[in-house]
């Protein structure tokens, strides 16, 4: 009799999906048929995209394509195995060495995705009875990694170093890790890395930075937000960054002391039990690492485009958040307003993401505009002209 009353899990999921649809918060897939730099073709539309994370415009670079093709012809497509069996190829080893040198770390370790990297690191380092202190606006995978580890997760208000200090001080004898995004994916601002590093040093807490949106864009030779803050491995022993944003490829890596990397090889389950990324993709990523350092003009162009957009947006009194990164959010408040604005822009040939709850808190829905070195000044001006027609709420600052 009891079994007949047990809820059906798929039916429950369907009810939750229907509730999200009724709240006009349903996520929907969009199939892109063709990509040409910042231009996307979908169905019968050709749209100028301002929602890609291809910050340096490398995703379609001919040298990346050539490197991938050469390696695929030589080594095939799939790695066929986890790294620890027979999946770790020369291409992976060369990429890891280049990433370690670029970021000023002793060693680096590849993961198949950034999500897996953060899950693996936090699960390997933390255990029940430890504490993990995190910024409330950290990416979901950092939060999930802490929960998976069994450690106590403590979240401090965004960029509030004093609050983080209180959380660490409340457990002075407990093993602790403090994790933050370097560049926050929805707000685009940079974490107070100097202050957090000093705090971790005082409290003997391990400091971890997820620099998915900073690598390639900020710092000397594009080495990321930690480099831009003039911090090194001693101050920030644990760096995670991805290969699928500014580098235009896919995958992720963790970099730090040799003892960290050796430990992750032994204990990071998402590394141990997952097929390695295709060696051809690692070859393409290595080419991207070299281009990101050699072609500084890409960062210079991106910086100029960011300045042009921000200047124009402020002249129009748009509700622009404070951000010096490639992520430029316009805070509109309601999910309906953000969705309506995105749809209106699409009607003018522009693709901009409407970010709604639960990705951001209720009342903080926004247009998340991302700029790329693949854009031109005329593209930015087109976007600003279109935004001017929307009659968006003015900035509150």
> Are residues 256 and 312 located together in one domain of the fold?
no
Tell me if 374 sits within 8 A of 37, measured CB to CB.
Answer: yes
> Are residues 347 and 315 located together in one domain of the fold?
yes
CATH, residue 286: 3.40.640.10
> Are residues 265 and 321 located together in one domain of the fold?
no
Over 90: is that where the pLDDT of 265 sits?
Answer: yes
Tell me if 291 sits within 8 A of 58, measured CB to CB.
Answer: yes
pLDDT value for 347: 95
> Are residues 135 and 266 located together in one domain of the fold?
yes
> Are residues 78 and 160 located together in one domain of the fold?
yes
Binding region for pyridoxal 5'-phosphate: 114-115, 185, 213, 242
The pTM of this model reads: 0.95
> Are residues 227 and 314 located together in one domain of the fold?
no
> Are residues 210 and 80 located together in one domain of the fold?
yes
Per-residue pLDDT band for 393 (boundaries 50, 70, 90) equals: confident
Domain membership of residue 70 (yes or no) is yes
pLDDT value for 396: 63
pLDDT value for 1: 52
Per-residue pLDDT band for 394 (boundaries 50, 70, 90) equals: confident
What pairing do the DSSP bridges indicate for beta strands 45-49 and 39-42?
antiparallel
pLDDT value for 392: 81
Range of the domain at 52: 30-56+296-388
Over 60: is that where the pLDDT of 324 sits?
Answer: yes
Which of 294, 313, 342 is a domain's end point?
294
Tell me if 203 sits within 8 A of 176, measured CB to CB.
Answer: yes
> Are residues 279 and 325 located together in one domain of the fold?
no
Binding region: 27, 114-115, 139, 185, 213, 242, 359
> Are residues 189 and 256 located together in one domain of the fold?
yes
pLDDT value for 2: 57
**Checking phi first, is residue 275 left (phi over 0); if not, alpha (psi -120 to 50) or beta?**
beta
Domains: count for the chain: 2
Domain membership of residue 5 (yes or no) is no
> Are residues 165 and 251 located together in one domain of the fold?
yes
CATH, residue 333: 3.90.1150.10
Which of 245, 272, 294 is a domain's end point?
294
Per-residue pLDDT tens for 1-58? 556 789 999 999 999 999 999 988 889 999 999 999 999 999 999 999 999 999 999 9
> Are residues 355 and 380 located together in one domain of the fold?
yes
Over 70: is that where the pLDDT of 397 sits?
Answer: no
d(CA 242, CA 91): 17
Choose among 366, 217, 396, 386: nearest CA to 312. Answer: 386
Return the higher-pLDDT residue of 100 and 4: 100
Enumerate the active-site residues: 185, 213, 245
Q: What is the mean pLDDT of the chain?
A: 96
């Amino acid at each position: 009799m009891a079994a007949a009353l047990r809820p059906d899990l798929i039916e429950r999921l369907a009810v939750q999906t229907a509730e999200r649809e009724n709240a006009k918060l349903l996520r929907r897939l969009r199939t892109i048929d063709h990509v040409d730099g910042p231009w996307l073709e979908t169905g019968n539309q050709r749209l100028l995209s301002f929602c890609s994370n291809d910050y340096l415009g490398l995703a379609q670079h001919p040298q990346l394509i050539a490197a991938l093709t050469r390696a695929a012809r030589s080594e095939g497509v799939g790695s066929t195995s986890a790294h620890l069996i027979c999946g770790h190829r020369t291409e992976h080893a060369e990429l890891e060495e280049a990433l370690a040198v670029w970021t000023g770390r002793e060693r680096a370790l590849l993961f198949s995705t950034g999500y897996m990297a953060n899950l693996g690191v936090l699960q390997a380092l933390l255990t029940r009875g430890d504490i993990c202190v995190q910024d409330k606006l950290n990416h979901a995978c950092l939060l999930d990694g802490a929960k998976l580890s069994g450690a106590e997760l403590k979240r401090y208000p965004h960029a509030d170093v004093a609050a983080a200090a209180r959380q660490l001080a409340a457990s002075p004898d407990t093993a602790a890790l403090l994790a933050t995004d370097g560049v926050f994916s929805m707000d685009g601002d940079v974490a107070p890395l100097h202050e957090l590093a000093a705090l971790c040093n005082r409290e003997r807490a391990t400091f971890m930075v997820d620099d998915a949106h900073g690598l390639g864009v900020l710092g000397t030779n594009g080495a990321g937000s930690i480099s831009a803050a003039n911090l090194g491995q001693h101050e920030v022993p644990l760096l995670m960054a991805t290969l699928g944003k500014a580098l235009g490829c896919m995958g992720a890596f963790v970099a730090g002391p040799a003892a960290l990397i050796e430990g992750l090889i032994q204990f990071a389950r998402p590394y141990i039990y997952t097929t390695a990324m295709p060696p051809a993709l690692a070859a393409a990523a290595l080419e991207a690492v070299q281009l990101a350092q050699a072609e500084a003009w890409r960062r210079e162009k991106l910086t100029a485009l960011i300045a042009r957009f921000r200047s124009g947006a402020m002249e129009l009194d748009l509700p622009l958040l404070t951000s010096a990164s490639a992520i430029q959010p316009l805070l509109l408040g309601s999910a309906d307003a953000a969705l309506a604005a995105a749809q209106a822009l699409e009607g003018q040939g522009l693709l901009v993401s409407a970010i709604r709850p639960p990705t951001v808190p209720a009342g903080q829905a926004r247009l998340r505009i991302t700029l790329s070195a693949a854009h031109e000044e005329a593209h930015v001006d087109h976007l600003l002209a279109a935004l001017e027609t929307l009659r968006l709420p003015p900035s509150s600052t």
